[in-house]
Structure 1
Amino acid sequence: MKKLFILMMASILVMSLLIGCGSQKAAEQKAPEKKFINIATGGTAGVYYPLGGAIAEILNKNVPGINATAQSTGASVANINMLKDGKVELAMVQNDTAYYAFKGIEMFKDKQVANMRGVATLYNETIQMIVLEESPIKTLNDLKGKKVAVGSIGSGTEANARQILEAYGLAYTDLNPQYLSFGEAANGLKDGNVDVAFVTAGAPTAAIQDIAFQKKIRLLPVEADKVDALIKKYPFYAKQLVKANTYPGQTTDIETVAVKAMLVVPENLDADIVYKMTKAIYGNTDRLKAAHKLGEGITKESALEGMPIPIHPGAEKFFKEK
């Protein structure tokens, strides 16, 4: 009898262990594997950083198994290099810079990044040329011999400046180029060390607002024929109007051109993950609007405008849905 009792207890123990192992395996199978999504944005004072933070929040709340984090970076060029090196899975970049990288031209000459795919274009990044109100410079035709802040060396702004000057028949040899960041260019204008500053950023731009609160400024236009010529030669440009009162003291609309901010991913990122991320982002655009005013321009309807590189299959699947 005693032996029978011991045998029964041993059988119960074995069955319990087997059930426990089975439950554990089932739990392991049910628990989704964590996928870390590092998002490359830009400087903390810019537009990319708050929008990137909002995107990370959206993904964490709406895509099971995703652990997304936004990080401050040196923006477009740095972000593409980080993506290429496998350090980030999602990056915010200018569409013209993405085009250069994919083609292996401009700052990516001999450094082609062919394994990058587009997710969506977001909002317009306006190319703004700023002078002080009292400046004798009225149009871009007046830049010969002037000190012109054209952006940091190798930046998207610098390429924009060079292309726009080219449309006016000007080269750097015709003027005195200053390779300055937005902040440095703003200080240069205020101090009189810069005559004109090129800035490529969503309008209103904090660096320009800062000048306008201290000194009266003007924005130089890009004439309609030059706009058409730029768009014909460079497919990533779009017409852009900087509406009156965008900046203090700006009383008239200014016609210029813009490029677009966009999202890119590695070509080999799982299509289902990209689909779910894209769906989550465009299902929660109110959060993007709350993060920054320029989030108002982020819509599903405009998400493929100015797309300069092949779109990722996961994103394409989402945009093809009704």
Structure 2
Amino acid sequence: MPYPISKTVAIVVAVVVVIAIVAAAVFTMMPTAPPAPGAPPAKKVWRWGTADPASYGYKVSAFLVDFIRRNLTRYDITVYPFVSTTANIKAYCKGELESVYIADLGFYELYTFTGAFEGFKPEVKKMPLQSFWTYTMETFILIPAGRAGEIKSWSDLRGKPVFLTPAGYMNHLNIRRALKALGVEVQHVEVDTKLVSKALEDGTIVATALYTTATLSLPTWGKELDIAYGDKLIPLNPTPEEVEKLKKAGLSVVDITVDKAFTKMKMKPLYGIPFFFGYHVGSEIPEEDVYMMLKVLEKNKDALTALEAGFAPLAKDFAGFQVAGIQSCDPSLVPIHPGLAKYLKEKGVWKAEWDKYVAR
């Protein structure tokens, strides 16, 4: 049975509660104390978007971010992987990232709101600008050696089940663009990248697209495919007639450095369709910071190449590579970040006709 509380005790308890409430209210109304003298300012958040952990973009992001983080110390930079390149682009445009992993052809679809971005415009809060072109990728096609008799050209893939790399990847868009230029429509089969060799062996697909960076670096899943099944794969190259059609459509055809890219698949030549890729920001990252980022990465270009061979073309001519990237991505459609403009002007390679395309 509970003991009764005396009237005096009840009054004391009530007074204590009132005092506590008043004190809490006064405390919350007090101004926050300023940072201690000499205390470092809070870092700005920089969410660095990229594709999934099996992608090349995710792999090399750690190298790039490490150099930027060490030199642009006012930023807290974190790599954010997404299920696909397209997903990271949409996340950026919705305001969920400060930089985005995007290719020239991805920029085109985004700015014209076509393809994967059809109907997306109402969700857009911001758009990326041309900021840092990083490397080229080259998309090509491989088939099992046992199918060499029936499949001899890209046109022979018409109507057949093919893995065109994961839907939402820029390489997926690139190889579709190339096949479309030839009037070839295949049946894309979405395959878990860890199971591509099994899909080829089982006949679920008759061919797979794959890609390199700078003609010599495979993505993680491509290396796994090569180790598991590379000795049973051969190149499926476009015929000379198909190459001419591709060039007339404005596409280039390059030779893949097979000896460096592959461990088991050694047949040559292997031809791929190149396009430019990069990590880009918008106006939320100031001109001076983008300029400094480019200077930092240029200074460390040889160290980057030592970490990943795919940076070699960038390291060979850092400023020239930015010019080539801009030329691959219509600047009248996709504006240029003022930080990139400042860097190129300093290097003496800026083109006067681009002045009107610099974002304001």
* Local SS of the residue matching 1:61: helix
Q: CA deviation at 1:278?
A: 1.9
How far does residue 22 in structure 1 lie from its aligned partner after superposition? 12
CA contact (8 A) 1:83 1:266 kept: no
* Aligned equivalent of 2:89, options 67, 80, 88: 80
The offset of 1:60, in angstroms, is: 1.6
**Distance in 2 separating the partners of 1:305 and 1:225:** 27
Q: CA deviation at 1:36?
A: 1.8
| 1:149-228 alignment runs, 5 A limit | 149-172=163-186, 176-202=187-213, 203-215=217-229, 216-223=232-239, 226-227=242-243
Q: 1:305 aligns with which of 315, 321, 324?
A: 324
1:231–1:80 Cα change, 3 Å: farther
For the residue of structure 2 that corresponds to 1:321, the secondary structure is: helix
Write the deviation string for residues 257-276 of structure 1: whole angstroms up to 9, x where unpaired.
11222111123432122222
Q: Which has the higher contact order (CA 8 A, sep 6+)?
A: 1
Matching of residues 21-170 of structure 1 within 5 Å:
27=38, 31-32=40-41, 34-112=43-121, 115-135=127-147, 136=149, 137-170=151-184
Indicate the SS of the match to 2:302.
helix
TM-score, normalised with respect to structure 2: 0.72
- SS where residue 323 of structure 2 aligns? coil
Task: Report deviation, 1:107.
Answer: 0.9
SS at match of 1:40: strand
Letter in 2 for 1:69: T
Q: CA offset at residue 217 of structure 1? A: 0.7
Would the alpha carbon gap of residues 251 and 99 (structure 1) be closer, same or farther in structure 2, given more than 3 Å must change?
A: same
Q: Is the 8 A contact 1:267 1:312 kept in 2?
A: yes
**Structure 1 residue 51, shift from structure 2 partner:** 1.6
RMSD: 2.8
Query: Given the alignment of the two structures, is residue 259 of structure 1 paired with residue 271 of structure 2, yes or no?
Result: no
Structure 1 gap ranges (5+) = 1-20
Q: Post-superposition shift, 1:90?
A: 1.6
Unpaired runs of at least 5, structure 2: 1-32, 348-360
Structure 1 residues 276-319: Cα deviation after superposition (integer angstroms, max 9, x where no partner): 22222222123422432212232312123233132210122112
How far apart are the structure 2 equivalents of 1:90 and 1:316? 18
Which is further off, 189-198 or 178-187? 178-187
Q: 2:255 aligned to 241, 260, 263, which one?
A: 241
Higher mean alpha-carbon deviation, 260-269 vs 290-299, is at 290-299
Paired AA for residue 199 in structure 2: G
The equivalent position to 2:300 in structure 1, one of 280, 284, 297, is 284
Pick closer, same or farther for the CA change 1:276–1:157 going to 2, 3 Å.
same
| Maintained 8 Å contact 2:132/2:322 | yes
Larger radius of gyration: 2
Matched residue type, 1:122: T
Distance in 2 separating the partners of 1:60 and 1:256? 34
Residues 181, 246 of structure 2: 8 Å contact kept:
yes
> Is the contact between residue 116 and residue 264 of structure 1 (CA under 8 Å) also seen in structure 2?
yes
Quick one: distance in 2 between partners of 1:145 and 1:55?
41
Higher strand share: 1
Q: In the alignment, is the contact (CA less than 8 A) between 2:101 and 2:280 conserved in 1?
A: yes
Residues 35-65 of structure 1 deviation map (CA, whole Å, 9 limit, x = unaligned)? 2211112222322123211122111211231
Contact 2:159 2:185 (8 Å CA) reproduced: no
Q: Is the 8 A contact 1:222 1:256 kept in 2?
A: no
Q: Percent identity?
A: 19
How many Å separate the matches in 2 of 1:23 and 1:205? 46
Runs of at least 4 residues off by over 6 Å = none
TM-score (norm 1): 0.80
Q: 1:302 to 1:227 in 2, by over 3 A?
A: farther
Alignment deviations for residues 63-86 of structure 1 (CA, whole Å, 9 cap, x no partner): 231221222222421121121122
